[in-house]
Structure 1
Amino acid sequence: MNKETTIAIPADPNDPEDRDVSVAALERANMGRFIRVLRYDLGLTQDEFAKIYGIPLANIRQYEIGRHMPPPAVRAYLKVIRAEPDVVRRVMAG
């Protein structure tokens, strides 16, 4: 199965501006939402989140809009941040 060509949400045939959404695009969008909600829960801007947790700001922006999927190591790191944000913040500061 090719996630870029497999359709997760078909376009609305009654909407000429609507487009199909691939499985890969849906996964990127869900990851973007995960990161955005994580940031909001921590009360951080994109810039603050990037500086505190050592992820480049440009990458955060691309992930949040669903343009790119973070690599597996970054996805794992984000899960650690979600579970223990204060511990990670102290480690990164230290």
Structure 2
Amino acid sequence: MNKETTIAIPADPGDPEDFDVSVAGLERGLMGRRIRTLRNDLGMSQEEFARAYGIPVANIRQYEIGRHMPPPAVRAYLKVIAAEPEMTKRAVAG
């Protein structure tokens, strides 16, 4: 099964501006939502989050809009941030 070509949500045929959503696209969108929720729960803008945790702000933006899926190492790092945000921030600050 190819996640990029397998349709998770078909386009509404009555809506000319709608489009199919692939399984991979849905996964990227859900991951973006989790990242945005984490960031918002921490009360941080994208720029503040990026600076605090050493992730380029452009990457945060791309992840949050579901354009790119973070690589496995970044997904693991985000779990660490969610579990221990202050400790992680201090560790990154050095």
Aligned-partner Cα distance in 2 for 1:83–1:5: 34
Which residue is equivalent to 2:21?
Answer: 21
The Cα RMSD (Å) is 0.7
Where does structure 2 lack aligned partners over 5 or more consecutive residues? none
1:34-53 equivalence runs, <5 A: 34-53=34-53
1:65-84 equivalence runs, <5 A: 65-84=65-84
Question: Normalized against structure 2, the TM-score is what?
Answer: 0.97
Moved over 3 A (4+): none
Question: Normalized against structure 1, the TM-score is what?
Answer: 0.97
Q: Give the fraction of aligned pairs with identical amino acids, expressed as a percent.
A: 78
Which string of whole-angstrom CA distances, capped at 9 and with x for unpartnered residues, describes residues 9-30 of structure 1?
A: 0111221211110000000101
Which string of whole-angstrom CA distances, capped at 9 and with x for unpartnered residues, describes residues 31-86 of structure 1?
A: 11011000100000000000000000110011111111100000000011011111
Which residue is equivalent to 1:11?
Answer: 11
- Count, aligned residues: 94
| SS, match of residue 8 in structure 1 | strand
Aligned-partner Cα distance in 1 for 2:17–2:33: 23
